[in-house]
Amino acid sequence: MASQNYKAWSVVTSSTTAFTVCFMVWMMFAVIGIPIKQTLGLNETQFGVLVALPVLTGSLIRLPLGMWTDKFGGRIVFFILMLSTVIPIWLISKGTEYWHYLVTGLFVGVAGGSFTVGIAYCARWFPRNRQGLAMGIFGVGNTGAAVNKLVAPSIVVAFGWAMVPQIYAVMMLVTAIAFWFFSYTDGEHTAGSSAVTVKEQLSALKDPRVWRYSQYYSIVFGGYVALSLWMTKYYISEYGFDIQTAALLAAGFSIPGGVLRAIGGYYSDKFGAHTVTWWVLWVGLVCLFFLSYPQTDLTIQTVTGPKTFHLGLNATVFTIIMFTMGIAFAIGKASVFKYISDDYPHNIGVISGIVGLAGGLGGFILPIMFGALVDITGIRSSAFMLMFGIVWVSLMWMYFTEVRPMSEAESRRHPEPIHYT
């Protein structure tokens, strides 16, 4: 009979693999949406809606999925969730009208809810001092966004975009079956064993800490999802790359955003969720400051006549800054969930569902706003200007609700000595 430690790591491994495939499917329109946009003649806002709509479903379903995970256990919920997406994924390849893709995208978006199920499912197999690492490893499944950018463009070029959802549908079915055989049921969370009522679960919405953590996650995860959806097209529009090169460069942001999440879990266990999240937001703010500057030609009058200078990030510098921000967001995604495992050890499913919903809604709303801002202003870097403002507001909120109260409490515990002269 398998040991508890073996079961725990088997659960983490199978769940992480399943989540990676789910994330690939969730981010699919980031690549196939580009040829669909060209075929249907969509504007930037319509493209934003197309790529973001699956994120909406994946966000809204996270709260009920978290509640069901607490009540019925993660294994059965995860398995049924994956099976439910197979047919909608396949049907995307049969679409011919804009509304076809919007409707099928809504159903496919259910795959994005897998995060809430898996994070609670994995956390319960480990003691509290190792939950950050376990959740961080599971979060590596976010690299599905990068894998999608590496795999899907090659399929599009070789066989056409319609082949992508067909291959992904088969992949999802195989993954669901493999997950069932390599995962285990937690005896304390079998069907119906939880006595927690829906009312008790939803009472968490009254806790201001939950709303604060939701705000943080709407940046580190919502921003990650939004930029993962937007970057391939941004490289094509801003720097003139083809779809394969653009997707490869865009993966430079997505890869660290997933792979390094485990490191974020480790540092959160070691230094605490607050400290790690504080510095993650500061790094994000600095990166977004430089990313926000649009391509500019500046003409000045000199003694020898007018001279024009070009200011703006070239593709290399832009990619390096995006890579840096991807690292920060990866660590931040883990640190926010460390807050949850510390503060709500017996209610992880529903709290992660609420926070995950907020993060997913950020990933849904931001791409639409990115497209609208480009249509309105004509400035592609306006997407980063918007995110800069959001991060700045979050830092202020964190300062007044966490940093300053902690400093004041420390001062009361260790008052300054009085010096007599």
Q: Considering only CA atoms, which of 124, 145, 404, 375 is closest in space to residue 256?
A: 145
* 191: confidence class by pLDDT, cuts 50, 70, 90: very low
Q: What is the mean pLDDT of residues 145-152?
A: 88
**Residue 300 pairs with which residues in a beta bridge?**
307
Q: Domains, the chain, ranges and CATH?
A: 8-185+219-409 (1.20.1250.20)
Residue whose pair of structure tokens reads 């529903």 in the numeric block: 350
Residue 177 CB partners (closer than 8 Å, separation 6+): none
Instruction: Give the pLDDT of residue 192.
Output: 44
Q: Under 8 Å CB-to-CB from 2, ≥6 apart: which residues?
A: 10, 184
Whether the pLDDT of residue 363 is over 70: the answer is: yes
Cα Rg, the chain, nearest whole Å: 22
Taking residues 180-186, report their average pLDDT. Answer: 86
CA atoms within 13 A on the CB side of 113: 32
> pLDDT band for position 369 (50/70/90)?
very high
Reduce the DSSP state of residue 306 to 3 states and report it: strand
**Res. 43: pLDDT tops 80:** yes
Query: Which residues, at least 6 apart from 401, have a Cβ–Cβ distance to it below 8 Å?
Result: 208, 212
C-alpha span between 187 and 74 (Å, rounded): 11
pLDDT, mean of residues 262-277:
82
pLDDT for res 180: 94
Q: Check if the beta carbon of residue 95 is closer than 8 Å to that of residue 82.
A: no
Q: How many CB atoms lie within 10 A of CB 42?
A: 18
For the chain, count helices (H), then strands (E): 20, 2
Cβ–Cβ < 8 Å for 224, 333: yes
Which residues have CB under 8 Å from 230's CB, separation 6+? 30, 48, 51, 367, 370, 383
Query: CA–CA separation, 329 vs 177, rounded Å?
Result: 32
User: What mean pLDDT is predicted for residues 248-255?
Assistant: 86
AA letter at 238: E
CA of residue 420 relative to chain centroid, distance: 56
What pLDDT is attached to residue 350? 73
Q: Indicate the DSSP class of residue 93.
A: T
Q: Which residue has the higher pLDDT, 341 or 286?
A: 286
Distance CA 330, CA 267 (A): 12
Q: What is the pTM of this model?
A: 0.77
Task: Report the C-alpha gap between 383 and 391 in whole angstroms.
Answer: 13
* pLDDT for res 128: 72
Share of the chain above pLDDT 70, in %: 89
